[in-house]
Amino acid sequence: MKIVKALLVSMFVLSIANSASAMNFDVKNIKAFGSLDLFTVGTANNRFDQQLKDSKKAGDMSSYKIAGDPGYGFRIGALYPVEKVADIGLSWGYISGPHADLKIDGVKYIDDINRRFFRLLVEAQKTVEIDSKFSFLGGAGLGMAWGKQEVVYVSKYAPVSNGIIVDTFDQNFSGFTWELSAGVTYKATEKMNVDLGVRYAGFPHAPNLHDVDNNSEVAGMDWRSFGIFTGVHF
């Protein structure tokens, strides 16, 4: 991953340098875009799973099951064409998830681990024409992400259907985020293109969550994920 980050940083430094040297900026060339994103659970629960394996090995439980949901999000942004390089710009996005819940010995113990992110990305996109309607779309992005994790416990001594909440605690964190994408773009009208493709993304390290009241700890996450996206350019 260090190589990927180094390549992305180098690419954006070069792109920004080329963009700054362009003297014929025209606001009419700015392209607005928006997309919907779906990211798989990926590695989000790996550290949590290892924590539970260690607890099981120590005899604290006989079985456990983690159920995870993917992350859903959207982004909006604007790009400006830099000659012979790519379209360069900024985007702002939100991701809800990935979420998880936990059963220990067949009884729900953690009702939900809620996770969400805001991301500010510098993006570069490059299109290569296939024919008059379709073009290949490649892209990369890097920037900052601000995340939050929230754990909601339920009483393991009460019927699960009651959904009794006994504790909730959360944590904020932030750090570097990046992504690579590839797909196709379709020229729907003279002023609008429709995009469809896949992404591979990395998110900031989330530290473990400490619940002081119950003297417990829930493992954080190091999330890397494959995803799909669809969007439009204007």
What CATH code is carried by the domain that includes residue 6? 2.40.160.20
| Over residues 72-83, mean pLDDT | 94
Q: Does some domain include residue 190?
A: no
| Over residues 32-61, mean pLDDT | 95
Q: Does some domain include residue 27?
A: no
Q: Does some domain include residue 26?
A: no
- State how many domains the chain has: 1
Least confident of 21-30, 117-126, 154-163: 154-163
Distance of CA 62 to the CA centre of its chain: 33
pLDDT tens for residues 120-148? 999 999 999 999 999 999 999 999 999 99
Q: How far apart are CA 170 and CA 165, in angstroms?
A: 14
Range of the domain at 213: 2-21+32-184+196-233
Q: Which residues lie closer than 8 Å to 106 by C-beta, 6 or more apart? A: 63
Residue 195 in tokens? 């995009």
Q: Does some domain include residue 17?
A: yes
Q: Does some domain include residue 40?
A: yes
Alpha-helical segments (H) within the chain: 2-21, 46-57
The distance in angstroms from the start CA to the end CA of the chain is: 33
Q: Does some domain include residue 124?
A: yes
Q: Does some domain include residue 15?
A: yes
pLDDT surpasses 90 at 72: yes
The pLDDT value recorded for residue 199 is: 97
pTM of the model as a whole: 0.84
Could you tell me the pLDDT band of residue 159, with boundaries at 50, 70 and 90? Answer: very low
| Secondary structure (3-state) at 27 | helix
Could you tell me the pLDDT band of residue 2, with boundaries at 50, 70 and 90? Answer: low
Q: In whole angstroms, how large is the CA radius of gyration of the chain?
A: 21
